Structure 1
Amino acid sequence: MATKPVIIGVAGGTGSGKTTVAKEIFYQFNEQSIVLIEQDAYYKNQSHLAFEERLKTNYDHPLAFDNDLLLQHLQMLSEGKGIEKPIYDYKEHTRSNAVVVIDPKDVIIVEGILILEDERLRDMMDIKLFVDTDADIRIIRRLVRDIQDRGRSIESVIEQYTSVVRPMHLQFIEPTKRYADIVVPEGGQNRVAIDLMVTKIRAIIEEKAIL
């Protein structure tokens, strides 16, 4: 890979469908040319804190993320160097000792709730998407996910949503919509938006191949 990769940011609130959009775009391409990096992998290492302290972490706040490391990794990939992407252990509430080795690709999709909040990250992106889905749909999706996949009670999910997730969304996530080049309504259900993105990315890759 001789030329700088295309970096695409996909942001949106919890349950908006941003992960679905990112994966739908990802699956349209040969894995040799595209990679998906989740901002969730870059939650800060908390191994220096007692477990009780880790439980207090607000995962919906910008300070929860190690954006310095994410920026460093995107820069390395842009320079044609491989990275070791961290893995976050949600049971231990800190970074795992394991990593995922990622090689440079033509296209990098960076997906997460707050990837448009940091100006340094925005400046690295060629295309910025914000997946915009109604709050009632997002809370229903979060309820189903957290109860089925994470064994949470309805009460605990609702309490966390009203006390942390919703205020953080309004304060930090929703305002980043103004930085997006494209706002995608209704997330993964929006086939037109996804197809348009895929067509645009293909054109960029073909253009790079010619250069």
Structure 2
Amino acid sequence: MDLPVVIGIAGGSGSGKTTVLEQIIEEFGADPIAVLDHDAYYQDLSHLPPEERGQFNFDHPDALETNLMREHLDRLIAGEAVEKPVYDFTTHTRREETETVEPRPVIIIEGILVLAEALLEERMDIRIFVDAADDIRLMRRIRRDLEERDRSIEGILEQYERTVRPMHLEFVEPSKREADVIIPRGGHNRVAIQMVMSRIQDLLSGVEQEA
């Protein structure tokens, strides 16, 4: 079996990683792409009282079950389907249902810490870091957490000051050194994204020629 192309997309919270991912899918279509988002692998906090869950440091590598994600990635590379967890960000727990992810010619792993985790980074063919100014990232995070995660503005800012910014400086920003491509100005840099598309197409063409 031909090995798939593995792409890692990292960057700070609100940097535009999802926008880059969506543009790749728009360019190549959803059929040839499998997606593993690191956020799906957050530790289940159902054993903690609800008031303690909100104080958890979700921006530290230990908050994520990266070993399980690596296992799923290896199985996808080997041509096996996996059951990806589904995380509920309003309750900080994993849901009972899972999402089936089938093996595909392109596997994209996405998350703020995927380049900071050697278990994931060493399996990538293309390493992308999406960069954006701190104020832009914070505004996007506030909008997302208000609209999608039922958070208060006070809670969002408290979490940003307590864990998001310190962990970004300690883990996320240094992982930029592992990137093959840095996309400045977030997910709206069409020139940089087009260069990434061309590289993906080159790798896929190589896989097709070997088939």
**What's the TM-score once normalised by structure 2's chain length?**
0.94
**Deviation digits for residues 37-79 of structure 1, max 9, x if unmatched?**
2110011123333434333321111100000000000000011
Secondary structure class of the residue paired with 1:91: coil
Secondary structure class of the residue paired with 1:156: helix
Instruction: Give me the CA root mean square deviation.
Output: 1.4
**What letter matches 1:120 in structure 2?**
L
Secondary structure class of the residue paired with 1:95: strand
2-structure distance, mates of 1:195, 1:56: 40
2:183–2:189: 8 Å Cα contact kept in structure 1?
yes
Match of 2:137 in 1: 138
Match of 1:71 in 2: 70
2-structure distance, mates of 1:43, 1:147: 20
1:52-201 pair list within 5 angstroms? 52-201=51-200
**What letter matches 1:56 in structure 2?**
Q
Match of 2:17 in 1: 18
**What letter matches 1:109 in structure 2?**
I
> Shift of the alpha carbon at 1:22?
1.5
Secondary structure class of the residue paired with 2:163: helix
**Deviation digits for residues 140-160 of structure 1, max 9, x if unmatched?**
111222223334333222222
Secondary structure class of the residue paired with 1:87: strand
Match of 2:29 in 1: 30
**Deviation digits for residues 6-43 of structure 1, max 9, x if unmatched?**
11000000111111111211221132211222110011
**What letter matches 2:92 in structure 1?**
H
The unaligned stretches of length 5 or more in structure 2 are none
**What letter matches 1:169 in structure 2?**
H
* Corresponding pairs, count: 210
2:81–2:103: 8 Å Cα contact kept in structure 1?
yes
1-structure distance, mates of 2:142, 2:67: 31
2:6–2:108: 8 Å Cα contact kept in structure 1?
yes
Percent identical: 47
**Deviation digits for residues 59-117 of structure 1, max 9, x if unmatched?**
11110000000000000001111100110012221111111111110001111000011
1-structure distance, mates of 2:75, 2:137: 34
2-structure distance, mates of 1:191, 1:95: 35
2-structure distance, mates of 1:57, 1:160: 9
The unaligned stretches of length 5 or more in structure 1 are none
Secondary structure class of the residue paired with 2:55: coil
1:184–1:190: 8 Å Cα contact kept in structure 2?
yes
Match of 2:203 in 1: 204
**What's the TM-score once normalised by structure 1's chain length?**
0.94
1:37–1:108: 8 Å Cα contact kept in structure 2?
yes
